[in-house]
């Protein structure tokens, strides 16, 4: 057995002990390292993780993801301790929208409804009427009165995709996920040529020209479900490569290929088993959200969870 595998086994054992001692639950996003996914009690996309955070009876939530996700967990379960193993795990997309700028744009659109993607700070969620994830953005937008203008924050690619699907004229924020936005149409064509017959599945944070080449467009959780419902032996996956671990575990008889080698989020990969163990041993870093921000953001998140 390789030395790193021995270390992983020992860390996993220790984390299991700490989980019982702390009465903790470990939540991990699909984009986390494989060994981090493997120690988690639940692995999911943003909507699934938010649902788990809201419903858990655990006293401690260890969130293996990025900062805005751990903030959302604290907002939905304010009485619980929320640990983020690497407090430097941020999200460049979330950083593209500041609360002051959202407030100003909102004021320039009288009567508008602000729908904010969960990839945003708690302060921006507090300026919003509804939150959404890539799983339920379509349903959230369709639930809005058609006569009201909608400001969609902060991902322009997701917003553009939803606008096309719904026929709504959305006011789009000029933000993007650097991992998905970098994926180009010629890379999809190259992947198809390399893996003939494979179905192309991409995330709605991708550019329109990439989406137009896909056989299926979905959130990460939707991709996992889709791969099990279609009779196809191979898939080209247009999202962060961490999802391939869960896909391969769920469907070992199928083949999964990254749409491009650069589909890696460095922030998602900051969390390691060592950091998970340290966080649970020291009970730090803990995520906190100011009460006034938390209550306003909770309203938008709760409304999101009601539309699934």
Instruction: Convert the pLDDT of each residue in 101-137 to its tens digit.
Output: 999 999 999 999 999 999 999 999 999 999 999 999 9
CATH topology of domain 93-177+292-305: Rossmann fold (3.40.50)
Between CA 302 and CA 63 the distance in angstroms is 19
* Res. 308 pLDDT band, cuts 50 70 90: confident
Which residue, 28, 72, 47, is CA-closest to 136?
A: 47
Angle (CA) 42-48-49 rounded to 5° is 60
Residue given tokens 């700490």 in the structure block: 18
Q: Which class is domain 3-90+268-288? A: alpha beta
Whether 93-177+292-305 and 183-258 share one fold: the answer is yes
Per-domain residue ranges of the chain = 3-90+268-288, 93-177+292-305, 183-258
**CATH T-level topology, domain 183-258:** Rossmann fold (3.40.50)
Mean pLDDT for 182-206 is 98
């Amino acid at each position: 057995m390789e030395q790193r595998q021995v270390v992983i086994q020992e860390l996993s054992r220790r984390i299991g002990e700490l989980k019982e001692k702390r009465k903790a639950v470990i939540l991990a996003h699909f984009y986390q390292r494989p060994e981090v996914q493997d120690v988690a009690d639940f692995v999911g996309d943003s909507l699934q993780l938010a649902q788990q955070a809201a419903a858990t009876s655990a006293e401690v939530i260890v969130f293996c993801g990025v900062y805005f996700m751990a903030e959302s967990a604290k907002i939905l379960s304010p009485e619980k301790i929320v640990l983020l193993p690497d407090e430097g795990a941020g999200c460049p997309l979330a950083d593209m929208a500041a609360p002051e700028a959202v407030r100003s744009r909102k004021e320039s659109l009288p009567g508008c409804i602000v729908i904010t993607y969960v990839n945003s700070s708690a302060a921006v969620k507090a300026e919003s009427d509804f939150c959404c994830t890539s799983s339920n953005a379509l349903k959230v937008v369709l639930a809005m009165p058609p006569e009201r203008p909608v400001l969609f924050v902060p991902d322009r690619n997701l917003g553009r995709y939803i606008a096309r699907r719904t026929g709504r004229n959305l006011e789009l924020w000029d933000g993007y996920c650097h991992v998905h936005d970098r994926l180009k149409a010629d890379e999809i064509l190259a992947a198809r040529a390399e893996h003939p017959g494979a179905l192309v599945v991409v995330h709605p944070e991708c550019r329109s020209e990439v989406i137009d080449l896909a056989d299926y467009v979905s959130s990460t959780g939707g991709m996992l479900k889709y791969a099990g419902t279609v009779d196809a032996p191979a898939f080209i996956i247009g999202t962060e490569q961490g999802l391939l671990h869960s896909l391969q575990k769920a469907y070992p008889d199928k083949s999964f290929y990254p749409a491009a080698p650069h589909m890696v989020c460095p922030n998602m990969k900051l969390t390691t088993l060592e950091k998970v163990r340290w966080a649970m041993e020291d009970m730090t870093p803990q995520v906190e959200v100011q009460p006034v921000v938390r209550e306003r953001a909770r309203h938008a998140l709760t409304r999101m969870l009601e539309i699934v």
